[in-house]
Amino acid sequence: MTPREFFLTVEGYTRAQEAETRRAAWQACIVANVWLPRGKRLTVDDLLGKRADGAPVLLDKASLRQYMRGRMEQPRRAGA
């Protein structure tokens, strides 16, 4: 197996795992939404901790602080 084939295999496995996780979250949403009040609905992104635009959902001060520290420790890009 060449390195390219190996990395493609890993990428395919990762995508399959993400699809399985998303499918499980979708099923959980269907079950949970039956029991929630009319105005309140869960989405798959709520359960996975993501927003529709792909940004992480920061629910409390600790997660916000951790996210910002990670962003500040990343090296800056040349054009930014």
Residue 78 resides in a domain: no
Q: What is the domain extent for residue 58? A: 3-73
Residue 30 resides in a domain: yes
Burial (CB < 10 A; 0-12, 13-18, 19+), residue 4, is: exposed
Query: What is each CA distance from 19 to 12, 16, 26, 47, in whole angstroms?
Result: 11, 5, 10, 14
Residue 49 resides in a domain: yes
Per-residue pLDDT of the chain (80 residues; tens, 9 = 90+): 899 999 999 999 999 999 999 999 999 999 988 988 888 888 888 888 776 666 666 667 777 777 777 767 766 665 55
Q: In the chain, how many domains are there?
A: 1
Residue 10 resides in a domain: yes
Residue 61 resides in a domain: yes
Residue 19 resides in a domain: yes
Question: Of the candidates 47, 45, 41, 50, which has an alpha carbon nearest to the alpha carbon of residue 28?
Answer: 47
Q: pTM score > 0.75 for this model?
A: no
